[in-house]
Amino acid sequence: MKTIRSIYISNRFYFCILANALLFIFAYFFPFLFAAAKLLTIATAVLFFVDIVLLFSIKHGIEGKRNTPEKLSNGDQNKVSITLRNNYRIRMMIEIIDEIPFQFQIRDFSVNSTLSSGGEKHFSYFLRPVERGVYSFGKLRIFTHTDLNFFNRRFIVNQDAEVPVYPSFLQMRKYELLAISNRLSEAGIKKIRNIGRNMEFDQIRKYNTDDDYRTINWKATARKGELMVNQYEQERSQQVYSLIDMGRVMKMPFEGMTLLDYAINASLVISNIAVLKYDKAGLLTFTHVIDTFLQADRKKNQIKKIQELLYKQQTDFSESNYELLYTRIKRGISQRSLLFLYTNFESMTAMQRQLGFLKLLSQNHLLVVIFFVNTEIQQLLLKKTDTLEDIYVKTIAEKLSLEKKKIVKELNKHGIHSILTEPKNLSVSTINKYLELKSLGLI
């Protein structure tokens, strides 16, 4: 790691020079001030010299390092840390300026602090990327000065780094840990009683607060001296596919992220949950062509494959071809599967154009159509109306909101399951639907 050093003159330096100059001007008119002006000039020069000596007495006075993750999680707060060490024998004031990737549009990032003699400090900040791809970090600039503060010394740490932004693996790990510890309810996942078919005894284990008390094994409880329950397992190795529409309807942004990226994040989460539940996870993305198709499986590297494929998805947001989607599924997925279709219908007309293909898909598979609440319209509905124009706008917003609910009813009428959700609740809503369908024994 190469460090470049340079020196800058502070405002205090110019103030001292100006003060000396003014004193000499006054001394010209009042000679008795001349001795004081000379003494002040000598003292100032000595202080300048001392400050420079202190700043440059050590070659590597300040050492710095930026610690970035190997990859960033899209849509999440990612921690970046900076470690600084003071090799000077005196306390130093510092200012840190980091070259953050241009995608974040942060142009005024700086941190001010102090470092004690021989001390080390850790600083951290958080970045929330909203699109996948490679993000480039630039140089780390550290400005330091003594308490005299006549001069500032700059250290540049050449630590250029390229960090890829992947679909939300932090969200995936969060739900994975909650699922393993049987605490999904903490994330808003509904507790659903298993009432479906194909329930077989698996093992006896310790009682958790979320367990149904009717599964308590009293004989095992008496032997162990603590509550024990019977654990049952559902039929395993069902196929769960995430079908992602990458067309123009998924370009709409929400909190900086497109609906497409929300769908990609949720697909990774539900695929991981499905594998944890001993089901098989697969993936299909499409626009006017089939971009990606990964056969459902539950091998150890399946989630990694899905993650890599989702990271590489690129689209021009063109018109999506549902006829091609139906043809590819009919040819490539022979076993009855659970299909989560991530798309967005803004009107009944838009949905009815694709309804024929959705009905064909639902004949051989369990289809769940996932589309999104328009949060901007929801905000308009909550807005107070003061003028006639506000009333017109709110009336139109109510009509558009009602249109979404009509779409849900129309899909249900044809035996097609649906989820209408806000983008931020997409992962939770999808997991809830998956667990609900699984508990009913529909897959």
| Burial bucket for residue 102 (CB in 10 Å: 0-12, 13-18, 19+) | exposed
CATH number at residue 150: 2.60.40.10
Integer Rg of the chain from CA: 32
For the segment 396-403, the average pLDDT, to the nearest whole number, is 82
Q: How confident is the model at residue 182 (pLDDT cuts 50, 70, 90)?
A: low
Is there a single domain that holds both residue 146 and residue 211? Answer: no
Is there a single domain that holds both residue 188 and residue 221? Answer: no
Range of the domain at 75: 1-166
The pLDDT score that the predictor gives to residue 442 is 77
The pLDDT score that the predictor gives to residue 2 is 47
Q: Mind listing the pLDDT tens digit for each residue in 131-179?
A: 999 999 999 999 999 999 899 999 998 888 999 999 999 999 988 877 6
Distance CA 82, CA 121 (A): 8
pTM of the predicted model as reported, rounded to 2 decimal places:
0.81
CATH number at residue 339: 3.40.50.410
221-237 as b/e: b if 16+ CB within 10 A: beeeeeebbbeeebeee
Is there a single domain that holds both residue 159 and residue 242? Answer: no
Question: Which contiguous run of DSSP H or E holds residue 364?
Answer: helix 348-364
Q: Which residue did the predictor score with more confidence, 187 or 435?
A: 435
Is there a single domain that holds both residue 110 and residue 186? Answer: no
The pLDDT score that the predictor gives to residue 196 is 46
Q: Is the separation of the CB atoms in 58 and 86 below 8 Å? A: no
Q: Mind listing the pLDDT tens digit for each residue in 295-320?
A: 999 988 999 999 999 999 999 899 99
The pLDDT score that the predictor gives to residue 195 is 46
The pLDDT score that the predictor gives to residue 185 is 60
Lowest average pLDDT, out of 41-55, 200-214, 369-383, 418-432, goes to 200-214
Q: Which residue did the predictor score with more confidence, 9 or 98?
A: 98
Which of residues 143, 166, 189 is at a domain's end?
Answer: 166
Is there a single domain that holds both residue 48 and residue 147? Answer: yes
Q: Is the separation of the CB atoms in 166 and 132 below 8 Å? A: yes
Is there a single domain that holds both residue 222 and residue 144? Answer: no
Using the predicted structure, report yes or no on whether residue 119 has a pLDDT greater than 80.
yes
The pLDDT score that the predictor gives to residue 200 is 57
The pLDDT score that the predictor gives to residue 181 is 58
Q: Mind listing the pLDDT tens digit for each residue in 339-398?
A: 999 999 988 999 999 999 999 999 999 999 999 998 777 777 777 877 877 777 777 778
The pLDDT score that the predictor gives to residue 1 is 40
Q: What's at 351, amino acid-wise?
A: M
Distance CA 101, CA 174 (A): 26
DSSP 296: E
DSSP secondary structure letters along 89-142: SS-EEEEEEE---GGG------EEEEE-TT-EEEEEEEE---S-EEEEE--EEE
Q: Mind listing the pLDDT tens digit for each residue in 202-214?
A: 678 888 766 677 7
Is there a single domain that holds both residue 238 and residue 92? Answer: no
Distance CA 185, CA 26 (A): 79
Q: Say what the alpha-carbon torsion angle 171, 174, 179, 180 is, to the nearest 10 degrees.
A: 130
The pLDDT score that the predictor gives to residue 273 is 93
Distance CA 265, CA 104 (A): 19
Q: How many residues does the chain have?
A: 443
Is there a single domain that holds both residue 303 and residue 225? Answer: no
Residue 305 structure tokens: 């494959």
- Residue 415: strand, helix, or coil: coil
Distance CA 371, CA 420 (A): 5
Task: Name 5's Cβ contacts closer than 8 Å, sequence gap at least 6.
Answer: 153, 154, 155, 156
129-148 as b/e: b if 16+ CB within 10 A: bbebeebebeebbbbbbbeb
CA 204 and chain centroid, separation: 38
Is there a single domain that holds both residue 255 and residue 336? Answer: yes
Which of residues 119, 142, 166 is at a domain's end?
Answer: 166
Is there a single domain that holds both residue 11 and residue 89? Answer: yes
Q: Is the separation of the CB atoms in 134 and 163 below 8 Å? A: yes
Spatial CA neighbour of 196 closest among 429, 365, 362, 436: 436
Which of residues 233, 248, 279 is at a domain's end?
Answer: 233
The pLDDT score that the predictor gives to residue 236 is 59
Is there a single domain that holds both residue 221 and residue 304? Answer: no
Domain count for the chain, please give it. 3
Q: Is the separation of the CB atoms in 50 and 59 below 8 Å? A: no
Is there a single domain that holds both residue 142 and residue 272? Answer: no
Distance CA 133, CA 162 (A): 10
CA 94 and chain centroid, separation: 31
Q: Is the separation of the CB atoms in 337 and 240 below 8 Å? A: yes
The pLDDT score that the predictor gives to residue 199 is 55
Instruction: Classify the phi-psi angles of 311: left when phi > 0, otherwise alpha if psi is within -120 to 50, otherwise beta.
Output: alpha
Q: Is the separation of the CB atoms in 293 and 243 below 8 Å? A: no
The pLDDT score that the predictor gives to residue 324 is 96
The pLDDT score that the predictor gives to residue 391 is 74
